[in-house]
Amino acid sequence: MSEKIDTVRIGGPDGPEAGVQGFGAMGISEFYGSTDEAAARDTLDAALEAGVTLIDTADMYGSGANEEFLAPFVAAHRDEIVLATKFGIERDPGNGAGRGIRNDRAYIRQAVEGSLRRLGTDSIDLYYMHRRDPAVPLAESVGAMAELVAEGKVRHLGLSEVTGPELREAHAVHPIAALQSEWSLFSRDVERSAVGTAAELGVAFVPYSPLGRGFLTGAFADAGRDLSGDDFRRHQPRFSGENAERNAALLDPVRKIAAAHGATPAQIALAWVQQRATVHGLTVIPIPGTRKRSRLEENAAATRIVLTDAELAELEPLAGLVAGDRYPDMSHTATAREV
């Protein structure tokens, strides 16, 4: 791709400027099978070349390994990227097993130091609370995050998997620049309240898993057959058994529209979420994840695809027909607090 993608401001006029599509680094370290490190580093270079400058990680990805992996790239390109990481999902340092959600002030103060050290930087551009523990008042968590801004450790604040009312409550404590939650052709829970509230408050929306963790690319029909043993999608409801078969059949219109644009199903999925956001008057920066240069370039090129009203109408029913939840345990999602 020769030309760089367009840019937007995240969270209003004082927010950082980034490409209209970002990069999700999670799969480099875990969840989606093994990674070729050289290819992953080349993918990061391809991101910069394409103008994909919002780089998304979290302290829990690879139990810190993902932040460490990014450190040399961060050191080489600190001023060219918008560096985003997250806290809030605690893991056992020994075996990586989940310990639960932590949103208390003491934990946040400790977590930020770990992320800064692993990333090799003295300031994080966008610091997200990864998951919400409803037992901890948002005023405490966002208040502690605001302290980090005052101290210069963090520049802007974000939240992940919160409802519209939670976003509003947090924004009243300290301006929230970005909300990151799952949003794709297959996952539209966020349109219940989060999207409208983000648009109203001028909060940017960062759709995660915009490719449905790869399902929307049309690559899967049978997780047991198509995925390696260490791939966590083998245990995801949408990728398993009959659900996977039914969901794969839903992709026919995506394939048809892709063919009409000379594009891939992945590109149509990305174009959809970008365009769907404009309906809500929302700044949106999807963060597809990939470990391959060619896919990074393919995904970035999707920012130039414009779907017709007829195509959008054809894609409209898909999310309502999907079989299976987006997680085996939905209890830590915003969706669970909205029903």
The contact set with ligand NAP (CB under 6 A) reads: 24-27, 32, 56, 130, 160-161, 180, 208-214, 217, 219, 266, 287-292, 295, 298-299
By the 8 A CB rule, do 338 and 163 touch? yes
Q: Which is nearer to ligand NAP, 13 or 262 (CB)?
A: 262
Q: Which is nearer to ligand NAP, 163 or 217 (CB)?
A: 217
Cβ 35 to ligand NAP shortest distance, Å? 8
Q: Could you identify the residue written with the tokens 């997780």? A: 223
Q: Give the distance, in angstroms, between the CA of residue 264 and the centroid of all CA atoms in the same chain.
A: 20
Q: Which is nearer to ligand NAP, 246 or 292 (CB)?
A: 292
From the list 128, 202, 200, the residue with the least C-alpha distance to 162 is 128
Cβ 211 to ligand NAP shortest distance, Å? 3
Cα separations (Å) of 95 from 67, 90, 91, 125, 133? 18, 12, 8, 29, 23
From the list 73, 140, 56, 71, the residue with the least C-alpha distance to 105 is 140
Q: Tell me the residue type at 41.
A: R
Cβ 309 to ligand NAP shortest distance, Å? 25
Which runs of consecutive H residues, i.e. helices, occur in the chain? 26-29, 37-50, 65-77, 105-119, 138-150, 164-173, 194-201, 223-226, 241-249, 252-261, 265-279, 293-301, 309-315, 318-321
Cβ 267 to ligand NAP shortest distance, Å? 7
Q: Tell me the residue type at 91.
A: R
Q: Which of 61, 107, 127, 208 is catalytic?
A: 61
Q: Which is nearer to ligand NAP, 59 or 298 (CB)?
A: 298
Cβ 13 to ligand NAP shortest distance, Å? 25
Q: Which is nearer to ligand NAP, 205 or 208 (CB)?
A: 208
> Rounded to an integer, what distance in angstroms lies between the CA atom of residue 234 and that of residue 32?
10
Residues in CB range of 323: below 8 A, 6 or more apart: 237, 238, 242, 243, 246, 247
61 is catalytic: yes
Cβ-closest position to ligand NAP: 24
Q: Which is nearer to ligand NAP, 65 or 219 (CB)?
A: 219
Cβ 330 to ligand NAP shortest distance, Å? 12
What amino acid positions are annotated as catalytic residues? Answer: 61
